[in-house]
Homo-oligomer: A and B are copies of this chain.
Amino acid sequence: MLITTHTGNANIVNLPRAPDNIGLHGLFRKQAHEHLTGGRSLFFEGDEAAYVFEVLEGVLRILRMVADGRRVITGFLYPGDIVGLSLGGRYLYSAEAVSTVTVRRVARRQFDFVVANNDRLRPQVFALVSDEMAAAQAQMVLLSCKSAEERLCSFLLSTFRQVGPCGQDPATFELPMGRGDIADYLGLTIETVSRTFTKLIARGIIRIDSISARHKITITRPGKLAQFAGGCEDHEDAPRLSSVRGGRQGCSTHADRQW
C-alpha cells in the first residue's frame, strides 16, 4: 500500500491544531516519507493498529463500511494531523488517500513508550484526543438535526478554515475531495450535495468559476454562509442556564459521551 519511500529532506509542515505540537511531531522527524496516490489505503478498519501516522501533505479520508455496502466518512485528515491515537488494538476505521498523500509513521509501541515517559508529550496527546472527540460530537450534532443546506454550509466553512485561501482571492479555496466524499461525510447522496451546491450558487452565497475546476470555491457571501451553517455549529459561548429541562434556548456546542 505504500508507494515510495525516501529519507529525510523534510520541509515545513502545517501545525493546524496547536502550536505546541512540535514536540509530538518531533517524534516523526527522522522517519522516512511515504507516498500514497489518490484512492489508495493507508490502513484498513480492523487491522492491527501497529503504527501512528503523521500527515505531511495531501488529504486522507477516514471511513467505515456498513453492511449494505455503503460507506460512512467520519472525518478528513490534513497536513499536520496525527492519526492512530485514540485506539485500542485495532483501527476503528480505514484511512484512504483523497489526493496524493505524504505521511511518516512511527510504531505504536515506540510512540506509546515515548509518550508514557514524557510529561510534556502526554498532555499533547491528550489534547489531540480531546479535539478528535470534539469533532466527533460536532459531527453527531450535524447529522442529528440539520438540513442538507446547513450541512453543506457547515462543511464548506470548516474546510475553508482548515485549508485556508488558495490563490490571490482570500475568499477562494480548494475542496480537496469529490462530491461523493462530501456526500458520505454529510450523510447525504451525491445528487443532494450537487443540488445543494447549485442552490448556494443560485443564491449568490458561493461561486464556482470554471466548470472544470469544480473544486475551487469562492465564498461570495460569508455572512450568509455562516448564518446557514450556524444552525449546527457550536458556539464557544455557552448559553447554559436553567436546570429545568423544558426550556432550551439558543445554541451552543456539543456533547457526546459514552460509557
Beta-carbon contact of A65 and B249 below 8 Å = yes
Minimum CB distance partner of A37 in chain B: B258
Instruction: Please report the C-alpha to C-alpha distance between residue A83 and residue B259 in the assembled complex, in whole angstroms.
Output: 8
* Residue numbers in B under 8 Å from A145 (CB-CB): 66, 68, 70, 72, 187
Is A169 an interface position by the 8 A CB rule? no
Type the 1/0 row for A13-25, where 1 means its CB is closer than 8 Å to any CB of B.
Answer: 0001100000000
* Residue numbers in B under 8 Å from A153 (CB-CB): none
Is A134 an interface position by the 8 A CB rule? yes
Beta-carbon contact of A252 and B131 below 8 Å = no
Is A191 an interface position by the 8 A CB rule? no
Is A107 an interface position by the 8 A CB rule? no
When the two chains form the complex, which single residue of B130, B131, B143, B243 contacts A140, counting CB atoms closer than 8 Å?
B143
* Residue numbers in B under 8 Å from A187 (CB-CB): 143-145
Instruction: Contacts A69-B249, A255-B94 given; indicate if A88 touches B130 (C-beta within 8 A).
Output: yes
Beta-carbon contact of B136 and A251 below 8 Å = no
Beta-carbon contact of B88 and A252 below 8 Å = no
Q: Shortest beta-carbon distance, A141 to chain B, in Å?
A: 5
Beta-carbon contact of A256 and B143 below 8 Å = no
**Could you say which of A1, A250, A251, A254 has the most chain B C-beta atoms within 10 Å of its C-beta?**
A254
Is A240 an interface position by the 8 A CB rule? yes
When the two chains form the complex, which single residue of B64, B240, B251 contacts A44, counting CB atoms closer than 8 Å?
B240
Instruction: Contacts A90-B238, A140-B72, A240-B47 given; indicate if A39 touches B250 (C-beta within 8 A).
Output: no
Beta-carbon contact of A144 and B72 below 8 Å = yes
**Could you say which of A16, A88, A253 has the most chain B C-beta atoms within 10 Å of its C-beta?**
A253
Beta-carbon contact of A45 and B94 below 8 Å = no
When the two chains form the complex, which single residue of B72, B232, B241 contacts A255, counting CB atoms closer than 8 Å?
B72
Interface residues of A in 58-95 (CB under 8 A from B): 62-78, 81, 83, 86-88, 90, 92-95
3 A-B pairs with the lowest CB-CB distances in the bound complex, closest first = A46-B238, A93-B255, A46-B240
Known: A44-B242, A46-B252. 7 other contacts (CB 8 A): A44-B238, A45-B254, A64-B252, A70-B248, A92-B253, A129-B133, A132-B256
Enumerate 9 A-B pairs (CB-CB under 8 Å) in ascending A order.
A40-B257, A62-B255, A92-B254, A92-B256, A93-B254, A116-B122, A129-B129, A136-B136, A139-B140
